[in-house]
Amino acid sequence: MNSTKQEYKNWQAFISNLGSRVTTRTNKKVWMDLEHFIVLGAKYANEDARIFTAFTHICIILAPILSPFKIKKIINSLLLKDDEFKIIGLMISNIQKSVRNKAQWNNLLMFCKEKADLNKEFKLFKSSSFKVAPELKEWNLVASGLELDNNDKYLNSKKMFNLSIVKMRFNGVKAVYSDLLFYRELNGENESLNQISKKIYHDYNSVYQANEHILIAA
Amino acid sequence: MNRPKTLLSALNELNTKLSINDIHIELTIVGSMAIYLNGLNFTRMTEDIDYINYEASDEFLNIVEHISKEFNLPSYWINSRAKEIDPLPQELKNKLKSDNRYSNIALKYIDIETAIIMKVYAYYIRGLEKDLSDLKTLSPSSDQLSKGIDYIKMQIIHHHGKSQYEKDAAEIARFLEFLKHELN
């Protein structure tokens, strides 16, 4: 299996771990960095309207615990295409509407607007629409409406809040600590901090310090 | 496991529990699950089972709630929200199909053409991408699309009168053109 296929498979498994009701169910826990999952959604959620709706619900619910700094770092590392910038931009708009601290998301929003060619239309789900949903027009995305008034239809939120990374973040555990703990929970203790820091998108010094604190507290 | 299969497992459990309680019911399935029951080879998921023509008893609702917990499904995994669709397509009753796999549920479901007619109406009214996506899966003929348009006309006249339909007629004509272009 090539790396793109594996990445897609992991993304699908992780959205199921986050409680998606509209993708193939799996009880097997997979590791994926939370912010990496959000950015990869720009590539993979576009496959189907129901998956896109579930992904949008996830972005909105997780908005308060996501790190805009990390998301920007990941966007830069992934070399997104124009349509993917539009999709992640739309998700960041949704996130920004759901958080109290809008300023830190505003920079990221502006960054996406600069990167996306907003004069060029992109058809989500490879189809036209009789009436384009108003919230998509800002990003020149074309699709009909998404069912955003009923997340229970698309997500099992109990399952989502039981995922340890989500639980830790909502309990106020800082991103670098929760990311390190979540990584080790699913991948074991064998990898070096240097390797882990690259996979969880934190600088080595922060990961080293977090590891020291975790060891002391244990 | 694909969602329709999960829902059918839940329906099987519902049948078992109805049988223990000696309850016999008749359900008419509409919506995406009906499309699945028609054997259409679609891989995407459906979220729930929509039924019409059955007034749920408290016992039924209690069993449904119990199964939703057992199968980790939303509380309305099987629901009668579609009963609000009124009037139903004229030929619906005559074209119903039957599924005899359950002892205590007389399961009926709409045929593909009726599903198309109802999806055309749903997409016009709700404007949701998932309805358009379902229509693509159903790949309707021009004739079937026109029947869907007739159903929109019937609904508007029934609820809002002829004068409203006359106001909406141009938009509905554009809607038909859009569907023909997008789906044929």
Strands B78-79 and A141-142 come out as: unpaired
Strand, coil or helix: B100: coil
Question: Is residue B43 scored above 60 in pLDDT?
Answer: no
Q: Is residue A134 part of a domain?
A: yes
Span B86-104, mean pLDDT? 93
User: Do residues A71 and A122 share a domain?
Assistant: yes
Buried b / exposed e over A103-138, threshold 16 CB at 10 Å, is eebeebbebbbebbebeeebebbebebbebbebbee
ipTM above 0.85, yes or no: no
Chain A residues closer than 8 Å to B175 by CB: 130
Closest residue by Cα to residue B128 from A157, A42, A153: A153
* pLDDT given at position B172: 97
3-class SS letters over A6-39: HHHHHHHHHHHHCCECCCCCCCCCCCCCHHHHHH
User: Do residues A56 and A139 share a domain?
Assistant: yes
What CA–CA distance (Å, rounded) separates A194 from A170? 26
Chain B residues closer than 8 Å to A48 by CB: 44, 133
Question: Is residue A1 scored above 70 in pLDDT?
Answer: no
* pLDDT given at position B44: 61
- Please, which residues have CB within 8 angstroms of residue B160's CB and are 6 or more apart in sequence? none
* pLDDT given at position B169: 97
Does the CA dihedral B141-B156-B53-B2 come out positive or negative?
Answer: positive
Q: How many CB atoms within 10 Å of residue A155?
A: 23
What CA–CA distance (Å, rounded) separates A177 from A218? 13
Report the Cα B114 to chain-centroid distance in Å: 9
Q: Is residue A8 part of a domain?
A: yes
Chain B residues closer than 8 Å to A21 by CB: 3, 45, 47, 74
The whole model's pTM is what?
Answer: 0.90
User: Do residues A144 and A199 share a domain?
Assistant: no
Q: Is residue A21 part of a domain?
A: yes
Lowest mean pLDDT among A70-84, B38-52, B137-151: B38-52
User: Do residues A22 and A50 share a domain?
Assistant: yes
What domain count does chain A have?
A: 2
Indicate the domain borders of chain B. 3-110, 114-183
When computed from its CA atoms, the radius of gyration of chain B, rounded to whole angstroms, is 17
Q: How many CA atoms lie within 13 A of B15 on its CB side?
A: 17
Last residue of a domain, one of A104, A127, A157: A157
User: Do residues A11 and A54 share a domain?
Assistant: yes
Of all residues in chain B, the one with the smallest CA distance to A132 is B127
Strand, coil or helix: B146: helix
B102 touches chain A (CB under 8 A): no
User: Do residues A136 and A210 share a domain?
Assistant: no
Contact A146 B74 (CB under 8 A): no
User: Do residues A19 and A83 share a domain?
Assistant: yes
Percent of chain B's residues with pLDDT above 70:
96
Question: Is residue B171 scored above 50 in pLDDT?
Answer: yes
| pLDDT tens digit sequence for A172-215 | 999 999 999 999 999 998 999 999 999 999 999 999 999 999 99
Q: Which domain, by its residues, includes A204? A: 173-218
Contact A25 B74 (CB under 8 A): no
User: Do residues A145 and A180 share a domain?
Assistant: no
B48 touches chain A (CB under 8 A): yes
Strand, coil or helix: B49: strand
Residue B45 pLDDT class (50, 70, 90 cuts) = low
Question: Is residue B1 scored above 60 in pLDDT?
Answer: no
Torsion angles phi and psi, residue A112, rounded to 5: -65, -40
Question: Is residue B184 scored above 70 in pLDDT?
Answer: yes
* Helix (H), strand (E) at residue B138: helix B129-138
User: Do residues A106 and A197 share a domain?
Assistant: no
| pLDDT tens digit sequence for A33-63 | 999 999 999 999 998 899 999 999 999 999 9
Residue B89 pLDDT class (50, 70, 90 cuts) = very high
Strand, coil or helix: B27: strand
User: Do residues A153 and A192 share a domain?
Assistant: no
What CA–CA distance (Å, rounded) separates A11 from B60? 38
User: Do residues A110 and A50 share a domain?
Assistant: yes
Pick A25 or A87 by higher pLDDT.
A87
Residue A187 is encoded by which pair of tokens? Answer: 């991948």
Question: Is residue B2 scored above 60 in pLDDT?
Answer: no
Contact A48 B133 (CB under 8 A): yes
Closest residue by Cα to residue A65 from A146, A190, A141, A168: A168
Torsion angles phi and psi, residue B99, rounded to 5: -130, 120
Best of B1, B2, B35, B45 to substitute, by most chain A Cβ atoms within 10 angstroms, is B45
Contact A25 B1 (CB under 8 A): yes
User: Do residues A127 and A194 share a domain?
Assistant: no
